[in-house]
Amino acid sequence: MIMESCRPNLNIAVFKGGASAEREVSLKSGQAVSEALQSRGHTISEIDLQGSSFKLPDGIDLAFLALHGSYGEDGQLQRRLEAMEVPFTGCDSESSHSSFDKKIAKNFMILHGIKTPGFHVVQTPDPEEVEALRYPRVIKPVTEGSSIGLYFAEDEVSYVEAATLLLEHHDSALVEEQIEGVEVTVGILNDRALPLVEVRPREGSYDYHNKYTAGATEYFCPAPLSAPLTKRIQETALATFAALKGRDFSRIDMMIDSKEEVYVLEMNTLPGMTETSLFPKAAAAVGIDFASLCEQMATMAYQRRTVSQAASG
């Protein structure tokens, strides 16, 4: 799985920050990626994205996207870079948009026979709109990440309260049946599934607090699941990656219920990229250290540039 490294001293623009709710996480990812690529001898230009405007330095070979959330993970930046003919890491604009919008992503999953929790998108907290969905329920933004704006409801009263709070800040909300069981994430790298990471919050759910508070969550990689179940989960992750037209890498979040049924929650096209993030954890389990992982991700983008140049030449 380990690819040949990039040629020495690529000029790489690392995009980080952004104006979304995940800005602070992205800054950490960008810093870690920049340091890793510099350690491999590449020239790095860091672009702290504040909005939608930016200027690329001259002589850039590729853009490494260490962004999360809107205008970074939702396809908008990808469309702009495609128009500029600048190769970039990760999924193209179409896949990024489809994956970031949870309603679109789940409809793609259903179309391709991939199990995902029952759901409904609402614009009001009226409980009658979602009466067909069983409790407990998860309420979350249709377009957001890092478990931001994540609520849980055990009954109608708590549902109305949660939906009301979420809709104060978002035009719509995704209401989803909560799958109780084992939470795992599967990294995809170069069209292969990495070892599973099991996520076990010490208390409550894997929300923003438990995701980014040291010691709040335990991680097990490889996840302590049977070989047949592990294989089935990895196959489901690869099927999701294909259904959403993924490219190069992604991270698929999933739930396994007590009957060992596999449910896909979402696909993250730009997973967290600090040395302790889940995607790097999975890569490390197969012997790919953090700097090598970052370089592989850059290599795949750079190879698209060389292929494009050869075709046009």
Q: Which long-range contacts (CB under 8 A, 24 or more apart) does 71-80 make?
A: 71/18, 71/19, 71/20, 72/15, 72/18, 72/20, 72/26, 72/270, 73/100, 73/145, 73/268, 73/269, 73/270, 74/100, 74/101, 74/143, 75/100, 76/52, 77/15, 77/49, 77/52
Question: Is the pLDDT score of 125 beyond 50?
Answer: yes
SS3 of 133, please? coil
Same domain, yes or no, for 71 and 214? no
SS3 of 40, please? coil
What are the tokens at 32? 């870690």
Same domain, yes or no, for 108 and 191? yes
What are the tokens at 253? 């979040």
Does the residue 274 lie in any domain?
Answer: no
Question: Is the pLDDT score of 138 beyond 60?
Answer: yes
Does the residue 224 lie in any domain?
Answer: yes
Same domain, yes or no, for 199 and 243? yes
Q: For residues 163 and 297, give the distance between their C-alpha atoms in angstroms, rounded to a whole number.
A: 38
Does the residue 4 lie in any domain?
Answer: no
Which residue, 149, 177, 205, sits at the end of a domain? 177
- 8 A C-beta contact, residue 81 and residue 63: yes
CATH number at residue 61: 3.40.50.20
| Residues classed as catalytic | 22, 146, 212, 251, 253, 266, 268, 272
Q: What is the arithmetic mean of pLDDT over 211-236?
A: 87
Same domain, yes or no, for 236 and 108? yes
Q: Is the pTM of this model over 0.95?
A: no
CATH number at residue 125: 3.30.1490.20
Question: What domain count does the chain have?
Answer: 3
Same domain, yes or no, for 264 and 207? yes
Same domain, yes or no, for 111 and 194? yes
Question: Is the pLDDT score of 258 beyond 50?
Answer: yes
How high is the pLDDT of residue 279? Answer: 97
Q: For residues 244 and 264, give the distance between their C-alpha atoms in angstroms, rounded to a whole number.
A: 12
Same domain, yes or no, for 166 and 262? no
- 8 A C-beta contact, residue 15 and residue 30: yes
For the stretch 167-220, pLDDT in tens is: 998 999 999 999 999 999 999 999 999 999 999 877 655 455 545 555 667 999
How high is the pLDDT of residue 140? Answer: 93
Is it true that the peptide bond before 136 is cis, omega within 30 degrees of 0? yes
How high is the pLDDT of residue 5? Answer: 47
SS3 of 159, please? helix
- 8 A C-beta contact, residue 246 and residue 269: yes
Residue 90: DSSP 8-state: S
Characterise 284 by phi-psi region: left (phi > 0), alpha (psi -120 to 50), beta (else): alpha
Angle at 125 between CA 121 and CA 128, to 5 degrees: 80
Give residue for tokens 């894997």.
206
Pairing of strands 197-201, 151-153: unpaired
For the stretch 259-284, pLDDT in tens is: 999 999 999 999 999 877 999 999 99
- 8 A C-beta contact, residue 288 and residue 296: yes
How high is the pLDDT of residue 290? Answer: 96
- Identify the band that residue 113 occupies on the pLDDT scale cut at 50, 70 and 90: very high
The proportion of the chain whose per-residue pLDDT surpasses 70, expressed as a percent, equals 89
